[in-house]
Amino acid sequence: MAPGTPQSFTPRGKNIRLIETPEGVPLSVTLADSGERLGAVLIDLLAIVILIVVWSALVLSALQDRQFAEWATVLLILGIFVIHSFYFIFMELRWQGRTLGKRLLGIRVIDRKGGKLTSQAIFARNLMREIELFIPISLLASAQLYDTDQWILVTAGIWIGIFVLLPLFNDDRMRAGDLVGGTLVVEMPKAILLDDILEESPADTEAAFSFGYRFSLEQLSAYGVYELHTLEELLRRKGEAADDTAMAVAQRIQSKINWSEPWDATNPWGFLEDFYAAQRAHLEGRMLMGERKEHKDDERGASP
């Protein structure tokens, strides 16, 4: 396969999947297990309930006058609709594939082909949640309130069961929303940045740049933590990966950062190691100042 060609996840173990990113870098990820995903959903549902209760209390306390009762009803319904419909979408857009529950349990949503997690994918996977979960729950609730026929309860129960059990019947534990959105839920790295593969202090820039390359602040700001981990994965596999893969990645980086200085094209690994060391030092310095750039397309670069 040519470098840069997206590749789907393929099994490497019970929980490990291998993906080739658009930059042509093989990257291993660990699937989130069912318990973590269920726990995250329960935390998020609890957060939604709390937000709805707080919103209801604010609206009702602010509009106690009877002449504003209709406005209170409208605001109450509108607020509940917004919270219920956009909680997951807003959180995953704001926190790069993480909701409150996912952050607490250390998991996140990623693109299944290794690219940037797009807003379209986030909208698609979360709109499916209405079909998977909220519509059948609404049917169950209405059946209880209005003493509806038992067949509705049975139908809603089967409906929920099918979608809840779906991740158990595919190797990548994808629910319907993941299938539609082209996403996967994986465990997040436990460390902020992984151990320095160069065995040098990332803050000691003179020692780290062993091949003599220097990079400007603007060049180092072109990438984020996600790309650093991706590059690190390639460097860890240096003995397995071909030199043409390293060359392709080095050229992609040079194009991205507008590199115009001379470099040793016979040793792309040297360029990549120096860029890794400089990028790591830069990102760790930013994190000491309370900033964290998750992805090259995250222009804010601040901790959520």
DSSP code per residue over 18-45: EEE-TTS-EEEEEBPPHHHHHHHHHHHH
Q: Where are the domains of the chain?
A: 34-187, 205-288
Label residue 189 by pLDDT band (50, 70, 90).
Answer: low
Q: pLDDT tens for residues 262-272? A: 888 888 888 88
Segment 21-59, tens digit of pLDDT:
665 556 678 899 888 988 999 999 999 999 999 999 888
pLDDT, position 135:
73
Is 228's pLDDT higher than 60?
yes
Per-residue confidence (pLDDT) for residue 5, from 0 to 100 = 37
CA distance 128 to 273: 42
Evaluate if residue 129 carries a pLDDT over 60: yes
What is residue 294's predicted lDDT score, i.e. its pLDDT? 53
Q: How far is CA 62 from the centre of its chain?
A: 38
Least confident of 9-18, 166-175, 202-211: 202-211
- DSSP track, 186-245: EEPPSSSS---TT-S-TT-HHHH-TT-----HHHHTT--HHHHHHHHHHHHTTTTS-HHH
